[in-house]
Each structure stands twice: as C-alpha cells, then as structure tokens.
Chain A
C-alpha cells in the first residue's frame, strides 16, 4: 500500500495514488500528471513516482 503521507514533509499523498496510477497506465507523462495533481515538492513526487505495489504479490500467501 502507498504510504499515507510523504515521509519528508507530511503531505497526504496516498489519496492521489489511484488517480496517478490510472493516468500513468494510460501513458500520460508522470511528471505532468504530478503537476496537474498539485504535487509540487520533489519529496512528495518521489513518493508517488517510486512506489511499487506489493499487495497483489502477497495476497495469495495469506
């Protein structure tokens, strides 16, 4: 799961994740999507850009 807040500044970024993920899957430029979502600082941008979804990998072993 995406962390609720940015590790560095504390901005709530998890609520933007699904929108971000969907738009990047539609081959939009991730940088432009972040600008559009109002994620200005690079600390918050890296949270969304570098997130790897692991939940589906773990789910079968539950």
Chain B
C-alpha cells in the first residue's frame, strides 16, 4: 500500500492510495463518514426562548454546530464507566444566554471545558430582536455518523479510480479530443497527444467518443484511488483519516478475537 498526498490543509485532503483493492478503499471511505467518534450537542434545556424560532428549530441548529473533538479526554457514552448515566468523561455542558437586539453566534456558546469549544465561531444561531431572549443549557456527547449526521465529521468523503488514458499508434493528432476535453488536460505534442495531468480526468469519455479512428482508450486502474476528504472542523483532515483507519483496525482485531474464541 502506498499513499501519495496531493493536497493537505486543515479541513481538506486529497491523496492517491495505490496497491489496495476496492473493498479497502470503500471501507476507509465509509469509516470516515460513519465510524469516527465526533462531538455534537445531543440534549438541550431551554429556560427562555422568545425568539422567532421554535425550541425545536433552535435544538436542530445547536446540534449541527461542529464542536472540536478531543478523544483523549472524552469517550463514547456507551463505553463509559458511568453506564450511560452521564459524567464528565462522556459529556460536555455548554451554556448560551443572549438578549436582543443581537445576532447570536455559535461563538457565544460558553463551554464548561476550556479545552473544548465550537469549531466554527461564526455560525449564526438566531437573530434576536428588541426584548427577545434566549437562555439555554446544552449537553454535548460523542457519537458516530452511523447514529446521526450531526456526528459525521467527514464531509463529502469519496474516491474515484485513477484513470489510465492510452493513445494507440494510429493516432494522427487531429486535435478533436483536445477540443472536447472539459478539464483541458490533453495537449498536442508534435505528432502525438499527451495527457498533462491524468488525476484531473473525470472519466467522462468525451475524448473516446470524439475520436473518429478509435485511437484512445480510457481505463480505470482497479488498485489505485484518488481520495477526497473534507472535515467539518471537529477534526483536522489528517486526524480524521488516521482516526478512520484506526477504527477499521480495531474492528478487524475484534473480529479476529471473536473468530479465535469460536475455535
């Protein structure tokens, strides 16, 4: 297995994974979306809400706000020693109080843990007009995307096969494919056509259709994948990918243990 990183920033990653089968690539993708534990608001107590939004709408908006996840200090509530009753190891309490006229932002939420706060401070929650008030207390928990989308740290995680574009010797460099390519990655180089950046190819096959003498063949490499992964802010993109791989390893270990106990 080989990994080549094309792009890596705090909330975005693009890399090429080679030498694996589609099952592993898909496992990694699904793990990023639904298996990585992520912190999100799960329960709220509303003491006062005279804003234009209903309590339920405020609850929904609070739940979708990304919160920085710290896996060293928090555990999933079902794995916690307190038997899901709620303690400082599996729960984080947050408070919010505001009085109009003001725009309430996620940055106004006060966290009881100084190390953990909202990942995006500019999310507008509700605009309060004159004499309107919002006072609430929220409880955030760890969860996985499998349970609810608010626990899904990976945004638009996906992959495509690496395209292999080959030109036969019969190619007469007429340039029709070059004009057709929407990503403009084909170029006439003397008497033949070359591909400037095969990773940008979207596998649309317009070049294959445009060729009158059928000199272009476009195939997909079954063992290499171009991955794109984006994080909602609760993890840095790199951490998200590492965490998702770790979850697969842990699950594989568990399966192994079960199989051994049967024999």
Contacts and interface: CB of A to CB of B under 8 A. Distances in A.
A15 B123 contact: yes
B155 A59 contact: no
A27 interface: no
A22 to B, nearest CB: 13
**A2, A10, A17, A62 interface centre (most CB from chain B within 10 Å):** A10
B232 A10 contact: yes
Given A55-B52, A58-B52, A15 B122 contact: yes
Contact of A41 (B52, B127, B156, B233): B156
A59 B132 CA distance: 10
A46 B34 CA distance: 25
A10 B127 contact: no
Contact of B52 (A10, A14, A15, A59): A59
A17 B124 contact: yes
Interface residues of A, number: 17
Contacts of B203: none
A55 B52 CA distance: 7
A60 B144 CA distance: 41
Contact of B156 (A2, A11, A15, A17): A11
A18 B124 CA distance: 9
A5 B119 CA distance: 13
Contacts of A58: 52
B149 interface: yes
A12 B127 CA distance: 18
A62 B156 contact: no
Given A1-B53, A1-B127, A2-B124, A11 B66 contact: no
A12 B66 contact: yes
A62 B125 CA distance: 18
B232 A62 contact: no
- Which of B123, B127, B149 gathers most chain A CB within 10 Å? B123
A16 to B, nearest CB: 8
A1 B232 contact: no
Contacts of A52: none
A9 B156 contact: yes
A31 B132 CA distance: 35
A10 B34 CA distance: 13
Interface of A: 1-2, 4-5, 9-12, 14-15, 17-18, 41, 55, 58-59, 62
Given A15-B122, A62-B129, 19 more contacts: A1-B61, A1-B124, A2-B124, A5-B64, A9-B156, A10-B156, A11-B155, A12-B65, A12-B120, A14-B123, A15-B106, A15-B120, A15-B124, A17-B124, A18-B124, A55-B52, A59-B129, A62-B50, A62-B132
